[in-house]
């Protein structure tokens, strides 16, 4: 078997990376990280929903779930 001539061999090219992390790996992991990020955000919203300042600053400003967190108690019945 004859060796492949130098002109036909694949030439190495630069592949951008940070450490061992390449753009190909980033695109592969993006959906998984997005799912974990969404689940983490949901957990934070669930556990912080009883904190008044979080409710006022974050949850009431979200258009889809704002109605659920608005206080509809009559002022005469409210202790505060």
Dump pLDDT digits (tens) for 49-74.
999 999 999 999 999 999 998 888 88
Quick one: what percent of the chain has pLDDT higher than 70?
91
Between 19 and 36, residue with greater pLDDT: 36
Interval 2-24 mean pLDDT:
79
Residue 52 domain-assigned (yes or no): yes
- pLDDT confidence of residue 47: 97
pLDDT band at 4 (very low <50, low <70, confident <90, very high): low
Domain count of the fold of the chain:
1
Residue at 64 is within a domain: yes
Stated pTM of the model: 0.65
Q: Is residue 8 part of a domain?
A: no
Greatest Cα pair distance in the chain: 95
What are the backbone angles phi and psi of residue 40, rounded to the nearest 5°? -65, -40
Domain range for 68 is 46-72
């Amino acid at each position: 078997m004859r060796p492949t001539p130098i002109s036909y061999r694949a030439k190495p090219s630069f592949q951008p990376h940070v450490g061992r992390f390449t753009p190909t790996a980033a695109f592969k992991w993006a959906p998984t990280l997005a799912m974990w990020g969404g689940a983490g955000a949901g957990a934070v919203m669930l556990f912080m929903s009883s904190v008044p300042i979080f409710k006022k600053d974050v949850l009431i400003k979200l258009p889809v779930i704002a109605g659920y967190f608005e206080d509809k108690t009559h002022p005469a019945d409210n202790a505060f």
